[in-house]
Structure 1
Amino acid sequence: MQNQNSLFFKCFKARYFPRCQFLDAAVSPNCSYVWRSIVAAIPILRSGSCWRVGNGESIKVFVDKWIPNYPSNRLLHPVHEGEEDWRVSDLIDLDLHGWRRDAIMATFNREDAEVICKIPLSHRRVADVVVWLHNKEGAYTVKSRYHVARKVLREWAESSTGAGQQLWKKLWKIRVPNKMKRAPETVIHAIWECPAAQDVWAAGMEIFVVQAWTVWNQRNSMVHGRQMKHPCWLNKRAADYMEEYRIAQEQLVVLNTISSGHHWQPPPQNMYKLNFDAAVFMEQQCSGVGAIIRNAQGEVMAGMSAKGSYVRDSEEAQALACRQAVVFTFYHGSWIFRACS
């Protein structure tokens, strides 16, 4: 999804989803096992991802998730008929690099319109990208996917129709003692959410993951002709890994504590340092941005301050301040600089 120029992506797109986006793809007749496995994960990816607006050409206004920090990340209110095929690019003034505010306010519900107009747009014609909502960097991680998968699986397990109902019908038909088929609580609750189960996982999940990794490593070694290690050695190796990791983390905390000073450090000779910051003014419903460029002697080369649009939190304000500061540097010549918030 992120590297669409890779050979892997190009091959799979040409074969399995040539006329749609990856998140809209489905299983096709005679497709490979790899593709079936990938498609099986799409509902989780779709649930945890959202479009980041670039030029808006890939995003369907009334279908896709593209509004950050908004319930369901979609429009909440219906609009007039005949506009279902709109793309987000139809709402952007490409010459001014901003939203067509008058058209948006006239077309959409006021609540939706105001949220749309607050979405920051790039000053360059960059492509739209899909970002992961459950990570501050917008990057997919296995840990965050686990929490999304739990939510999706719980909703599926608690449903009484569709695929969930078919599964329970098949479950009751299998030939095992009835006591094994009784389920006074949902499977998800029994395995993950029950306090007793959570105590077990909290105590043993880490060592279980490390042991699973050592077993897999052992399997790979045997495939490549090495001898099998005794199970006791594998258990000891897993415990050693855990201890090494714990010590490394403690040392990392100490190093971070030592190097956490807030004194301004000058850049190397022949370089300039850009410092910027942002503030959110709740009462005035606006934000503020400040930036300063200094040389190796600490002399001020340029500075700026500006009033910005209202943002929801400090992280969004810092991101907008970073963009404004970088634009500011390019307007004042070709600098070789280091940026620090």
Structure 2
Amino acid sequence: MGFRDLRHFNDALLGKQVWRLYHEKETSLYRVFRAKYFPSGDIFEAVQNPRCSYTWKSIMLARDVISNGALWRIGDGKDIQIWQHRWLPSPGSGKVLSPRLDQSLNVVQDLFIIGTKTWDFELIDRHFLPWEADGIKSIPLSEHHNIDLLIWPHTPDGSYSVRSAYRLLVAAQAQNQPSSSSTEASKRLWKGVWRMEVPNRVRQFVWRAVGESLPTKKNLKHPLRRPVPREVIKWSPPDESVYKINFDAAVFEEQGSAGLGVVVRDLAGLVISTLSQKIRFPGLAVMVEALVACRAVFFAKEISVFRVVVEGDSLQVIKAVNSLKRSKTPYGHIIDETRLLSSSLSCYNFVHVQREGNKLAHALARRAVVSIDTDVWMEDLSRDLDDVAVINFHTSIAAKKQCWWARTKRKVGSTE
């Protein structure tokens, strides 16, 4: 199974029981243990009794596996202790390192503007280190009712797994131990190769031989495969009386920001409206994809379009929105909000498309790098994206002529 350290494997298995005792409150296991060991709180607040069973003592010790690996996803902010819990998305411990200057700030909800679910930027800037304040302000919040949720960020679906916990424990142990001499020996070998006083071609030959990259019989045993030509994918029109909304995201790491791109088109491929918006980068690319999916639905409601096909190239987000299960991922609250907004539409469908069929939305997302906040065009498109709209269009000849005529009419009108 790939588990070599039995102690870490045992801790990971016990961590599974801790996870169940916290999340699966409808089970008989939870009801029995709660009545006996933590009647007035949860498993993390339970106090170890010297007279308790060996099994319970082992489960209590495994709480550290969850405490050191799990992360809080912010909902209403009432249950997350600012300085005690792990809730920051930045790499590291996930805990706040800024000194506590105000004793009245206890839970994350205290960092909201009173009566809202919006970050109080001025308050955050006063009480946190600059880099930590930026990280907090970039965490997206859902306007709808969501409770705080403890998630496991080491799996794609946010649920605890023994394998991921085991790997986490092994990695933590490796960080606390001195580095292996094998790495240093490897470095000395490569340095020795490149310091050889021989012609360059000999040095390169030795380097390739050590790296097993010479065209020997062993390295050539795999047959060559002919490249399979990829199918050309372009944007396809929706059904009659339905609008298609394409969305995509882009990340600008150097700026610490991200771009959202949304385009609404009709059966003929005519642009109804487009959006290009810059936001703070929330730390995960998939989080930005979830945010732009939610923004696409909200944008449809803003322009009074209620029969839509919502199309994006993030398969992970599309699957999450279409799933009937509650998402425990870091972006799960955004998925919940997207579903809630979609429920007010008269007709909707979320579909995955390859990047080649989503070029215009991608270009709008990339364009957000020059935006101050949000740019919106109604029945129009930014001039620098006209060519992208034509190249990414695939429909009937009549529809293409209609699209060309409308675009020509628009340009003639603008010159007059």
| Short-chain TM bin | 0.5 to 0.7
C-alpha distance in structure 2 between counterparts of 1:339 and 1:3, whole Å = 31
8 Å Cα contact 1:75-1:112 kept in structure 2: yes
Q: Is the alpha carbon distance of 1:299 and 1:25 closer, same or farther for their aligned partners in structure 2, counting shifts above 3 Å?
A: farther
Query: 1:144-223 residue pairs with structure 2 within 5 A?
Result: 144-152=164-172
Aligned equivalents of 2:232, 2:290: Cα separation in 1 = 23
The one of 232, 237, 247 aligned to 1:276:
247
Task: Tell me how many residue pairs correspond in the alignment.
Answer: 246
Counterpart Cα distance in 1 of 2:169 and 2:248: 37
Find out whether 1:128 has 2:128 as its counterpart: no
- The answer (yes or no) to whether the contact 2:90–2:135 under 8 Å persists in 1 is no
> In 2, distance between residues paired with 1:26 and 1:296?
64
* Residues 35, 294 of structure 1: alpha-carbon distance in 2 compared, 3 angstrom cutoff: farther
Equivalent of 2:103, from 82, 97, 101?
Answer: 82
Corresponding residue for 1:305?
276
Aligned amino acid, residue 38 of structure 1 = I
Letter in 2 for 1:337: N
What is the TM-score when the length of structure 2 is the normalising length?
Answer: 0.49
CA shift for structure 1 position 90: 0.8
CA contact (8 A) 1:271 1:337 kept: no
Task: Return the structure number with greater relative CO, CA threshold 8 A, min gap 6.
Answer: 2
Separation in structure 1 between the aligned mates of residue 39 and residue 101 of structure 2, nearest angstrom: 31
Instruction: Measure the CA separation in 2 of the matches of 1:149 and 1:88.
Output: 28
- Alpha-carbon distance in structure 2 between the residues aligned to 1:260 and 1:43: 50
Q: Residue 241 of structure 1 aligns with which residue?
A: none
Alignment partner of 1:99 out of 119, 122, 126 = 119
CA contact (8 A) 1:274 1:337 kept: no
In structure 2, list runs of 5 or more residues that go unmatched. 1-18, 183-227, 307-344, 354-416
Q: CA deviation at 1:11?
A: 4.7
User: Structure 1 pair 302/37, CA: closer, same or farther in 2 (3 Å)?
Assistant: farther
1:336 aligns with 2:348: yes
Pick aligned residue for 2:263 from 261, 270, 292: 292
Would the aligned equivalents of 1:273 and 1:294 in 2 still touch at CA under 8 Å? yes
Give the AA of the match of 1:77.
S
Partner of 1:72, secondary structure, is coil
1:65 corresponding residue in structure 2: 86
How many angstroms does 1:264 deviate by?
3.8
> Percent of aligned pairs with the same residue?
29
Q: In structure 2, what is the Cα distance between the partners aligned to 1:92 and 1:318?
A: 24
Q: Alignment partner of 2:82: what SS? A: coil
Q: Tell me by how many angstroms 1:145 deviates.
A: 1.1
Q: 1:55 to 1:303 in 2, by over 3 A?
A: same
**Per-residue CA distance 1:91-110 (angstroms, 9 max, x = gap):** 11264431111112122233
CA shift in 2, pair 1:282/1:33, >3 Å:
closer
- Note if contact 1:276-1:340 (Cα within 8 Å) is conserved in structure 2: no
- Report the Cα offset of residue 73 of structure 1: 0.5
Once the two structures are superposed, residues 147-190 of structure 1 have per-residue CA deviations (whole angstroms, 9 ceiling, x without a partner) of 1122456689x7xxxxxxxxxxxxxxxxxxxxxxxxxxx9xx9x
Report the Cα distance in structure 2 between the residues aligned to 1:303 and 1:66, rounded to whole angstroms: 34
Specify whether residues 61 and 321 from structure 1 end up closer, same or farther in structure 2 by C-alpha distance, changes over 3 A only: same
CA distance in 2, matches of 1:340, 1:289: 17
Unaligned runs of 5+ in 1: 159-185, 196-256
- TM-score, structure 1 normalization: 0.59
Name the SS of the counterpart of 1:321 in structure 2: helix
The verdict on how the C-alpha distance between 1:56 and 1:149 changes in structure 2, with shifts beyond 3 A counting, is: same
